[in-house]
Amino acid sequence: MRIKRVLNNNVVIAEDVITYASKEKGLELKELIHITLTDHIDGVLTRLKKGISLSNQLTMEISRVYDTEFQIGLYAVNLLREKTGCEVLRDEAAFVAMHFLNNRMDL
């Protein structure tokens, strides 16, 4: 049951971020984002529990060039901090932004 509860929490967080992206930022998204973002969030939380944080060398560039997607990433980072109590680095916002950029490429 614990696995199911953890997965459900990840889905809830991902859905919150996706809703923010579509309703607040006006992004049109493919359904695949539900799977990829949930999987990403699971990976982030697994790494953080093991004390592993990843840096993103593209954070500054992504924040300048893709402001909307980066703002969504920051929303996700803040939500993860709030819901899990984990210290999620700002660089994670750039990783999340890349998911939204990749999702929109074929639209």
Q: Where are the domains of the chain?
A: 2-104
Whole-angstrom Cα distance, residue 9 to residue 52?
A: 20
Whole-angstrom Cα distance, residue 15 to residue 32?
A: 12
| Residues in contact with 37: Cβ distance below 8 Å, sequence separation at least 6, in sequence order | 14, 17, 18, 96, 99
Domain 2-104: CATH class, spelled out: mainly alpha
Find the mean pLDDT for residues 72-78.
99
Whole-angstrom Cα distance, residue 93 to residue 76?
A: 7
Please state, for a pLDDT cut of 90, what percent of the chain lies above it: 87
pLDDT band of 54, cuts 50, 70, 90: very high
Find the mean pLDDT for residues 41-67.
95
Comparing CA positions, the residue from 36, 48, 55 lying closest to residue 88 is: 48
